[in-house]
Amino acid sequence: MYSYLGLFLCILFVCCSATPLSLIGSRRSILREVRDNDKNGHPDYAVELNATNFDDVLKDTPSTYAVVEFFAHWCPACRNYKPHYEKVARLFNGPDAVHPGFILMTRVDCASKINNKLCDKFSVGHYPMLFWGHPPKFVGGSWEPDQKKSDIHVIKDAYTADRLLNWINKQLGSSFGLDDQKFENEHLSSNISDPGQIAKAIYDVEEATSTAFDIILDHKMIKPETRTSLIKFLQLLVAHHPSRRCRKGSAELLVSFDDLYPTDFWSTNEHEVDKGSVSNLKICGKDVPRGYWMFCRGSKNDTRGFSCGLWVLLHSLSVKIEDGESQFAFNATCDFVHNFFICEECRQHFYEMCSSVSITFNKARDYALWLWSTHNKVNERLSKEEASLGTGDPKFPKIIWPPKQLCPSCYLGHDHKNNKIEWEQDEVYKFLTNYYGKTLASLYKDKKIVGNDEADRAVKDLIVEASNAIVVPLGAALAIAVASCAFGGLAYYWRSQQKNRKYFHHLHSLKNI
């Protein structure tokens, strides 16, 4: 009877999945270099789309603009144009892109029958035909030659790589060049002068989260003494991560954590995790990490990036917690950095600052301001070291945050004698909650992929409060799975039926977690 029930639920879960299996197989990652090479041995940087993945890829891309080339594989002019198109595409596409995050370069083969309707929607009358616009405008969109106003534009006079790039430069007011090399470009958007740039950091927060967990798994950093701190941090991510797909992935990892790393895992001689199970747990989705940074991109290869993304993640968590979670968030963050941040000197400095705190955080405001102050202390220390060694990023020097041009009301005065800033902390907290909270999430809200607010509120209620910080991975994780139907309610039901007996017989073991 149970086997039939399990089979029925599995079939039902597959049928109700938001993404059909056919689409999963056909959707191509927009951030991974295409492995197919042309006859000259050069990689294809332009992403080839078709009717099954066109909307999905353009909806999910972090790029600000998109170019779509409609072509036919049998067309001699298209074959001759491809090398020109690829010269431009290599600047913007793939993990080695010179200018990542700006433009997604794509191609659609109209000679393929599957694309007939798609090409008709865009009134493709000759090959090759190129279109330009913001990616979401292509989703479910169309184009007619007699349209007076359209958010999608035809690119004309782009028959060579030079002409295409010149057309793009005129649109953006940029100075991209075909000879640009990685990390030597001048087209860098400053996160200081344009506060709206923080919206793009949502992708860097996902990148940093995924990279952090890849490091943890690759270096086998989950041990008896670090197990609890990782569970706490996962609970924090499930409730407050600004990315819905990272919340979902964190919940899935939390549900499976006791199976992957049971409390007696290290007491046996054969403590080896099923590598297949671990590799399938992509904490922010199968396309992350992408291999590049947007908001946190430095002007040099070895600056900013991961550390910047991790700081943005921590700040975004700090402004989302509620008063009852503030001490829990403080402990979870300090323990996570101490146990899992790979830079030894950095984590020791951070943990020393954590250890110097003698108060209990009762208000979310106090914890957010402590983290802000701590970050400024780190920047102050590193700016002196980088200045003496010449290792800083000239385009992104370490500064006291926020600068006056972003938040003039945050500044009360400046003690020049002691070089100390007098802060209006209420204004600072207001700035932090807006910058790392509302503005950071704005891009996701625009794309309508933030998630179900009701489910998110239910998940938040299940996170352990600081007053009794007892970590219960199984119970909390299962409750999280129940509360967030979008995270797989049917999967939870199946798992609970299989494991209920185990949970009730092992409740006493939770005291040791």
Q: Which residues contact 480 (CB under 8 A, 6 or more apart)?
A: 238, 251, 254, 255, 459, 462, 487
SS3 state at 493: helix
* Residue burial 295-333, b: 16+ Cβ < 10 Å; e: rest: bbbbeeeebbbbbbbbbbbbbbbbbbbeeebbbbbbbbb
Distance CA 312, CA 304 (A): 11
- Say which residue the tokens 């431009």 belong to: 88
Provide the residue type at 232 as one letter: K
Identified catalytic residue from 16, 78, 246, 346? 78
Report which of 206, 202, 461, 223 is spatially closest to residue 321, judged by C-alpha positions. 461
How far is residue 375's CA from residue 232's CA, in Å, rounded to a whole number? 22
* 39 half-sphere exposure, CB direction, 13 A CA radius: 2
Query: How many of the other CB atoms lie within 10 Å of CB of 191?
Result: 20
392 in Cβ contact with 298 (< 8 Å): no
308 carries an active-site annotation = no
Burial 138-151 (b: 16+ CB within 10 A, else e): beebebeeeeeeee
What secondary structure does DSSP assign to 242-254, as a single string? Answer: S-HHHHHHHHHHH
Q: Is 110 a catalytic residue?
A: no
Instruction: Give the whole-angstrom CA distance, residue 104 versus residue 415.
Output: 48
* Residue of 75, 346, 354, 485 marked catalytic: 75
Question: Which are the catalytic amino acids?
Answer: 75, 78
